[in-house]
Amino acid sequence: MPERLQKVMAQAGIGSRRACEELIRQGRVQVDGKLATLGQKVDPHRQQVVVDGQRLPRREPPVYVAVHKPPGVLSVSQDDRGRRTVRDLVPLPGHLYPVGRLDATSEGLVLLTNDGELANLLTHPRYEHAKEYRVQVQGQVADATISKWESGVYLDGRRTARARVTRLQADKDTTWLRIVMHEGRKRQIRRVALLLGHPVQRLIRERIGPLQLGQLRPGQWRHLSAEEVKALRRTAGRRKS
């Protein structure tokens, strides 16, 4: 049965649907020897799809892996400068790409999968799935500062969405916070913390939707259970109102 080309590509493990759409826009995809167009429908069993000169691979069995990304490791599948990535931590065959990026200096939970449809649902801004972080910042954080953080501050001329910020532990020099948020602007936690006068010293992502980091130590990985995959799919199918 014909399906949209970007969906077929995502299901084959090329990338998220948005990433596949961009490949089509860039003219890097052909169907039966002709340049593909965005929104085109194809039958993957009858038609030949070629991406960057390579025939679309057969659909691989779905793989879902949780990784504890250590600081200094990039949350991408590969790096053209040869730097270490989360993909290097997982010695499994096939094309796996990360869901939920973390900046290089942060650590914590990253999901690796070849399920492009699920990746798209978990990362698209309109779905706004909860993510939970444990964050160490400089100084003692006052209640008034926490209230400002929760209510939202202006970054790049636009107020951040409401978040939940809880003080976990404090001493005279640092404070540990738990932050639950549905928004994901680039380096958002670090930028908000700096704006409020409390630069981040350590940032650990502990949860993406229902998926927990658990007892994974930095650099470790594990396959998701069937129950975890089902929970992710249920969460991915719910759009936040």
Check pLDDT > 60 for residue 200.
yes
Nearest-angstrom CA–CA distance, 163 and 90: 32
Are residue 214 and residue 204 in the same domain, yes or no? no
- The per-residue pLDDT for range 185-194, each reduced to its tens digit, is 889 999 999 9
Active site residue 103: yes
Q: What's the pLDDT tens digit per position in 140-184?
A: 999 999 999 999 999 999 999 999 999 999 999 999 999 999 988
Say whether both 75 and 144 belong to one domain: no
Same domain, 36 and 102: no
Residues 120 and 142 in one domain: no
- For residue 28, the one-letter residue type is R
Residue 236 makes CB contacts below 8 A (sequence gap 6+) with 118, 121, 122, 127, 129, 209
Q: Which of these is catalytic: 103, 115, 156, 173? A: 103
Q: What is the 3-state secondary structure (H, E, C) of the chain?
A: CCEEHHHHHHHCCCCCHHHHHHHHHCCCEEECCEECCCCCEECCCCCCEEECCEECCCCCCCCEEEEEECCCCECCCCCCCCCCEHHHHCCCCCCCEEECCCCCCCEEEEEEECCHHHHHHHHCCCCCCCEEEEEEEECCCCHHHHHHHHHCCEECCEECCCCEEEEEEECCCEEEEEEEECCCCCCHHHHHHHHCCCCEEEEEEEEECCEECCCCCCCCEEECCHHHHHHHHHHHCCCCC
Residue range 44-72, pLDDT digits in tens: 878 899 999 999 876 678 899 999 999 99
Structure tokens at 65: 């892996």
Average pLDDT over residues 111-131: 79
Tell me, yes or no, whether 24 and 136 share the same domain: no
* Domain range for 80: 64-126+210-236
Tokens 């759409």 belong to residue: 21
38 and 85 assigned to the same domain: no
- The CATH number of the domain holding residue 22 is 3.10.290.10
Out of 36, 55, 74, a domain closes at 55
Predicted confidence at residue 117, as pLDDT, reads 76
CATH code: domain of residue 168: 3.30.70.1560
Bigger pLDDT: 203 or 9? 203
Assess whether 223 and 187 both reside in one domain.
Answer: no
In sequence order, the 6+-apart residues with CB closer than 8 A to the CB of 47 are 31, 32
Q: Assess whether pLDDT exceeds 70 at residue 125.
A: no
User: Does 20 lie in the same domain as 135?
Assistant: no
Residue entry with tokens 């501050």: 153
CATH of the domain at 108: 3.30.70.580
100 in the same domain as 217: yes
Please check whether residues 163 and 226 belong to one and the same domain: no
Is residue 241 in some structural domain?
no
In total, how many domains does the chain have?
A: 3
Give per-residue pLDDT as tens, 70-106: 999 999 888 889 899 999 999 998 888 898 789 999 9
Is residue 224 pLDDT above 90, yes or no?
A: yes
CA 179 to chain centre: 17
Q: What are the φ/ψ torsions at residue 111 (nearest 5 degrees)?
A: -95, 130
